[in-house]
Structure 1
Amino acid sequence: MQRREFLQSAGLIAAGAAVPTILPSRVFGRQAPSERVTLAFIGTGRQAQTMNIPEFMAVPGVQVVAVCDVDSWRLDRAKTLVESTYARQAPSGTYRGCATHRDFREVLARTDVDAVMISTPDHWHVPMALMALRAGKDVSLEKPITRHIAEGRQLVNEVATHRRVFRVDSEFRSLERFHRAVELVRNGHLGTLRTIRVASPKEEFPQEAAVEAPVPAELDYDLWLGPAPKVPYMQKRVHNPRDIKGRPGWFRSTMYADGMLTNWGAHLVDICQWANGTERTGPIEVQATGKYHDDPVWDVLETFDARYRFANGVEMFYTMDQPHIRFEGDKGWLQVNYSKSVAHPEFLEASRPSILAVQLGADALRFPLRSERVDFIDAVKRRGQTMEDAEVGQRTISICHLAHIGVKRQGKALTWDPVAERFTNDDEANRHLQAPAGRGDWGTK
C-alpha cells in the first residue's frame, strides 16, 4: 500500500490533501521511528495562540494534529499557525495536516491523538478533562484546573483510575527566580519557615455595557456555554469578536471563572505550597474577607484578604497587590517578585545579601528546572508523573477556593480537614464544596 493510501484508509488525511511531513506515532504503533507524541489543542484563544501552541510545537517529539474551538475565526487562525510553523520546517516549504474541529468530542474520538492541551474558559476545564481521561488521552490543563474542591478530587481520582498523565499548565515552577527561592527555603537558608505573604494582581474592570446582542456568526454560543447556565449572549460575558489579544470578559464573571483569586493564585500559591513542603496537603485553618465587584456580569472579587494556618505552624497571608511571594523564617526573609518595579527593582530580594549568594552543595535538596511543556511531554513518553500533577494541582487550587468560601462565610474562622477535604466547624461552608447543578452532566457523572 502506498503511503498516501495508508494514511487515507487510517482516516488521517482526506483524499486530495497533502501528506503530512511528520507522521503520528500511532500510525506505526510500537515500530514508530521516534518517540513522537501527537497533540491536539482544545480552545484556541489568546493563551493558546500566543503561548501554548507555539511553545508545545517547539518541543522535540511533538506533532500537533488537530485544533478545536467553538469560534471558527479563532480556529482558522490556529490551523494557520500550526501549518505555517510546520511549513517552515518542511523541505517543500508547505504543510497541510492539521485538522479542525468545532466540537471537542470529535477530538476525543480520534485514535491518532495521544494527548490534549485544554485552554478553554474555566467552567469547561473539569468536564473536558474528565471526558479526555475516559477517552484515553493524557491531559495538560490550563489553570485554574477546577472551580470547586469536590470536582477537583474527582479529577484526581479519575487520573489515577485511567492511568493517564496529567499536568497543570503553569509555568511558574519553570521560572528560575521562583525555582531558586524554593530551593533556598527548602534547604533551610531562612531557618525555620514561619510566615508566607503572597499577592496576586488586582483585577481591572473597564467600562463596558451589559448589552444583549446577536451571536456572532463564527461562534457556537450554546457549546461555548456548555455546562454553564443558559443566558442571553452579550460580548461582555464571552470575548471580543475577532480579537486574539484582548482579555476576555468571562475572566470577570463568576458564571465562568473566579477572577484573580484563582487565575494568578494557581501560579503563586503553588510556589508557596512547594516551598512549604505542603504541596500534597493543605491548611488546617482559613479566614477570609473580600468585596465582590458591583456589576450585573463582572462580579468576581475585586479585593480579598485571606489568612491560613498549616499543621507545621506556618501562617500564610494572601491578598491583592503587585504579584510577589515573601518567605519569612526565624533567620531572615526572602522575596521573589514576578516582575521588577520601582519599589522592587530585583526579582529576588532578601534580608541580607548572603542569602542570595548561597551556593547549594552536592547534598542539597534540588529540583529539576525545565519547561512545563517539556515536563509534560517527557512524562507522556515515560508514563511518569509531572512536576505539577493532579494531586498537586488540586491542593493548590483548593487553597484559593478555601479563601473564596471564607469570603462567602463573611470572615468566619473555618477549620479545615485536609485529609477529608471538609470543614469541621461549618456545615454551610461545606455546601460550597460542590459545583451547582448545570445544564447536563457534561462528563461529570
Structure 2
Amino acid sequence: MTANPTRRQFIKASGATAATVSLSQIAWSESKNDQITLAILGLNGRGRYLAAQFSPLDGVEIAAIADPDSRLLNERAMEIEVLSGKKPDTVQDFRTLLDRKDIDAVVVATPDHWHALATIWACEASKDVYVEKPASHNLLEGKMMIEAAKRNNRVVQVGTQRRSAPFLAEAKEYIESGKLGDIGMARVWYMSNRPSIGKKNDSPTPEGVDYDLWLGPAPKSPFNENRFHYEWHWNWDYGTGELGNNGIHGLDMVRALLDIDLPNRVTSGGGLRMYDDDRIAPDIQISTWEYPNLSVVWEHRQRGGGTLYGKSFGVALYGSEEILVSGGSDWEVHRGKEVETHKGNNGMGEHVLNFLDCVRTRKTPNASIEQGHLSTSLCHTGNIAYRLRANLEFDPEKQQFTGNDDANALLGRDYRSPYTPPEGLV
C-alpha cells in the first residue's frame, strides 16, 4: 500500500466490499447527540477489517485506535482517515483510552486471550463493546463478561455476524415450518489449505512492539514470530484453534437455527497430521456434542481443501424428510437430487448497524454476550475434550464437567499480574 492510500485502494486491501461501504448511504441520519464515538483495539487483521466497516458510516467517529505493535498505528490511522475524513488518535496501550469520556464504545479485535479482559474493563469504564469471535479464551471468562455487562448496563455484541443476516432468519422460519422433519444431526465443517507455519526460534522483540502488553494475561514467554501475528491462533496460551477461529461461526448458526444451548456430553479427536511445524492446536479435528435428541458434529482440516455440498465452510441440518445446508451466506434445501437455493449475504453490514442501533436504543443486540458465550462454550468444551482425549460428561446448567477435575481445570486460566479481572465477578 502506498504511503497515502486512496479510498479505493484501502477498500480493496481491507477486504471491504462496495456493498459494505455503501452502508453509509443507508444508515439513518443522526443528530449530533446521536453520534457514536468508537475506539478500535487490535489492528492487525480483523481490527483493520472492522475499521473499514465502521469508518464510512454516518453518525460514527473512530476517535482512537490501539495496538501493542506500534508499527501498525500510523498506516491504520491513515486508512481510517481515507474512509472517514478524520484521523484517529493512536496509542499502544488501550487502557489509556478507557477513561476518555468522549469514547462511547470500543471494538475489541485483539487476539483471543485479550477478548474477555478488554471487554470487562471497557464495561467497567461504562463503554459498550463489539467483541470479535470467539467471545472469550475460556469458558469462565464468558461468564465474567456476562456479569460485567449486566452490572454496568452495557451493550455487548459478539462478532458472529450471521445472527444479523436475513438468510438465517429465512432458514429458521423454514425449519420451524416442520418441512425438514425430525432433525437428529447437525454438521459443521471448515476445509482449508493453510500453508505450514514452519519452525522458528525465539528472537528479540521487534522495535515498536510492547510484547509484555501483547502477552497480557498469558504466561511470560520470549518473543517468537510463530506465536505472534495470526499464528497465535494455533497456540493454546493465546488462541482457540480452528474450532474457535472458524467453527464458532457454524456452531453459532446451529444454535440459532435450532434454539439449543449447551450439551450433555462432548468428545473430540484429531491431531497434528498435515504438517510438522510449530502449531499446537490440531490441523485435523472432529468434535461431537451430544444433546438429548441431537448430535452436533464439527470437522476441520487445514491442508488439502475440499468441500461438502460444494462448500468449504458450511452447516448441514439432517432432517427425516429434507436436509438444509448453508455456506454462511445462503441456504439450500436438499430433497434427494433436487436442490432449492436461496441466496443472501453473511450479515456483516447488518450486524454493525444492529450494534450501533442497540448502543443508541439500549436494546439487546442480535449476538448478545449471553448467546456469544454459549456458542463459544461449544468451542471451549470441544477443545478440552481434544486436549484430554476424553469422553466428557457436561452439566449444561452448572456449565462444568461432571466427574473430571482435569477438564474443569481447563475451564479457566491463571492470570499474569497485573492483567487480571476485577474482583467480584463470577
Task: Give TM-score scaled by structure 1 length.
Answer: 0.79
Aligned to 1:287: 267
- Paired residue type of 1:391: E
Listed one character per residue, the Cα deviations across residues 210-229 of structure 1 (whole Å, up to 9, x for unaligned) are 22222221211121111111
Mark the CA change 1:377 to 1:211 in structure 2 (over 3 Å): closer, same or farther: same
CA distance in 2, matches of 1:353, 1:108: 56
Mean CA deviation greater in 197-206 or 228-237: 197-206
Superposition deviation, residue 297 in structure 1: 4.0
CA distance in 2, matches of 1:44, 1:207: 21
Aligned to 1:318: 298
Report if the CA contact (8 A) 1:201-1:260 is conserved: no
Q: Kindly, what percent of the aligned residue pairs are identical? A: 27
Report if the CA contact (8 A) 1:68-1:104 is conserved: yes
Superposition deviation, residue 265 in structure 1: 1.7
Mark the CA change 1:59 to 1:418 in structure 2 (over 3 Å): closer, same or farther: farther
Q: Does 1:432 align with 2:410?
A: yes
Mean CA deviation greater in 164-173 or 180-189: 180-189
CA distance in 2, matches of 1:349, 1:201: 21
CA distance in 2, matches of 1:267, 1:351: 25
Mark the CA change 1:415 to 1:221 in structure 2 (over 3 Å): closer, same or farther: same
Report if the CA contact (8 A) 2:205-2:223 is conserved: yes
Q: Does 1:393 align with 2:335?
A: no
Report if the CA contact (8 A) 2:139-2:412 is conserved: yes
Listed one character per residue, the Cα deviations across residues 314-339 of structure 1 (whole Å, up to 9, x for unaligned) are 11111115311110112211111248
- Paired residue type of 1:47: R
- Paired residue type of 1:84: V
Q: Helix, strand or coil: the match of 1:402?
A: helix
- Paired residue type of 1:252: W
Aligned to 2:332: 348
CA distance in 2, matches of 1:258, 1:122: 7
Report if the CA contact (8 A) 2:197-2:226 is conserved: no
Q: Helix, strand or coil: the match of 1:136?
A: coil
CA distance in 2, matches of 1:305, 1:40: 37
CA RMSD of aligned residues (A): 2.5
Aligned to 1:407: 386
- Paired residue type of 1:141: V
Aligned to 1:275: 257
Q: Does 1:100 align with 2:100?
A: no
CA distance in 2, matches of 1:207, 1:374: 36
Listed one character per residue, the Cα deviations across residues 406-425 of structure 1 (whole Å, up to 9, x for unaligned) are 1233132x221111101223
CA distance in 1, matches of 2:236, 2:405: 22
Aligned to 2:191: 201
Report if the CA contact (8 A) 1:254-1:298 is conserved: no
> Which of 51, 54, 79 matches 2:52?
54
Mean CA deviation greater in 133-142 or 62-71: 62-71
- Paired residue type of 2:144: Q
CA distance in 2, matches of 1:252, 1:284: 27
CA distance in 2, matches of 1:183, 1:264: 25
Aligned to 2:17: none
Q: Does 1:221 align with 2:219?
A: no
Q: Which runs of 5+ in 1 are unaligned?
A: 1-30, 88-94, 240-247, 340-345, 359-367
Listed one character per residue, the Cα deviations across residues 221-280 of structure 1 (whole Å, up to 9, x for unaligned) are 1211111111111222112xxxxxxxx2212222210211111122110001011112xx
Q: Which runs of 5+ in 2 are unaligned?
A: 1-29, 302-311
Q: Indicate the structure (1 or 2) with the bigger Cα radius of gyration.
A: 1
The count of residues paired between Structure 1 and Structure 2 equals 379
CA distance in 2, matches of 1:385, 1:374: 13
Superposition deviation, residue 391 in structure 1: 0.7
Superposition deviation, residue 180 in structure 1: 3.4
Listed one character per residue, the Cα deviations across residues 117-156 of structure 1 (whole Å, up to 9, x for unaligned) are 0111111111111110100000000111112111111111
CA distance in 2, matches of 1:71, 1:184: 47
Aligned to 2:150: 160
